[in-house]
Amino acid sequence: MQVHHRPQVEDPLAIHARAVAHRIESVERDLARLGASGAVHPSVRELLDQSREELDRVLERGFSTASGALPIQLQHAAILRTAERLAELLAAASRSEHGEAEDAAARVLLGCLARELPDHFALEERHGYLSQALEEAPRLASRVEALEQEHRLFTEWVRRLQQQLDAPGVAVAWTEVYADFGKLHERLLDHERAEGEILREAYEDDLGGRG
Ligand SMILES: [Fe+2]
Ligand SMILES: [Fe+2]
């Protein structure tokens, strides 16, 4: 799928639109690779449907105006939705309530997080948001630094989990994967919440200062 609207100065919303288009393509490719196309799990079906709707809405909105915090908000919502669905699948797997479709769905959703988290972090670090927040309120520097450190931790954590699910010839220890992902999920929620706080503080201060 191609995203045709290319602004001269790239709007982070355009970067996000490409990420959503890439998500759709990658999930479809993973489904084909895992041989799960005949029995697409509802979690994955939902992810695809919501992604297509999101892409349509973003393309309809266009990239001619400043998108503000919208791309990052959309990414937070998508990442947390995917993490929530994966947590549910792993919870069921840890209770032995799973078959091929569930296992494939867990791999697809984890693959989705593994691809999207680094891109999301790059968007936060390079295209405004956290760096923009720092310009507005330099006193937030140490908290922003701590959050950026966490980005690397999440990226490595998800990769480790992927290796556990993809290890050839080894039975997946679903209970362990569920417990480990539970910790990651909790920390990711805290991370995004802390980020929301920083953005709020930075922009509220900014508004106060100018008012
Ligand atoms: Fe972040
Ligand atoms: Fe974030």
Domain total in the chain: 1
Tell me how far the alpha carbon of residue 120 lies from the centroid of ligand 2, in angstroms.
Answer: 7
pLDDT at position 210 is 41
Distance of alpha carbon 147 from alpha carbon 162, whole angstroms: 23
Does residue 6 form part of some domain?
Answer: no
Answer positive or negative: Cα dihedral of 25, 47, 192, 71.
positive
> Using an 8 Å Cβ cutoff, are 78 and 17 in contact?
no
Does residue 1 form part of some domain?
Answer: no
Does residue 174 form part of some domain?
Answer: yes
Tell me how far the alpha carbon of residue 204 lies from the centroid of ligand 2, in angstroms.
Answer: 19
Does residue 64 form part of some domain?
Answer: yes
Tell me how far the alpha carbon of residue 185 lies from the centroid of ligand 1, in angstroms.
Answer: 13
Does residue 40 form part of some domain?
Answer: yes
Answer positive or negative: Cα dihedral of 44, 127, 14, 77.
positive
Distance of alpha carbon 70 from alpha carbon 130, whole angstroms: 14
Q: Which ligand is nearest to the CA of 75?
A: 2
Distance of alpha carbon 174 from alpha carbon 44, whole angstroms: 19
Does residue 3 form part of some domain?
Answer: no
> Using an 8 Å Cβ cutoff, are 19 and 75 in contact?
yes
Tens-digit pLDDT profile for the chain (211 aa)? Answer: 555 554 456 788 898 999 999 999 999 998 888 775 567 899 999 999 999 999 999 999 888 766 667 788 889 999 999 999 999 999 999 999 988 889 989 999 999 999 999 999 998 887 656 777 777 778 888 888 889 889 999 999 999 999 999 888 889 999 999 999 999 999 999 999 998 888 777 766 554 444 3
In the DSSP assignment, the letter for residue 39 is G
Cα angle value 100/105/108 (rounded, 5°)? 125
Residue tagged 């790059």 (tokens)? 122
Q: Which residues surround ligand 1, an ion (CB under 5 A)?
A: 124
pTM of the model: 0.86
Does residue 2 form part of some domain?
Answer: no
> Using an 8 Å Cβ cutoff, are 51 and 24 in contact?
yes
Tell me how far the alpha carbon of residue 76 lies from the centroid of ligand 2, in angstroms.
Answer: 6
Tell me how far the alpha carbon of residue 95 lies from the centroid of ligand 2, in angstroms.
Answer: 31
Does residue 143 form part of some domain?
Answer: yes
Identify the domain containing residue 56 by its residue range.
12-210
* The pair of three-digit structure tokens given for residue 145, joined into one six-digit string: 């630094």
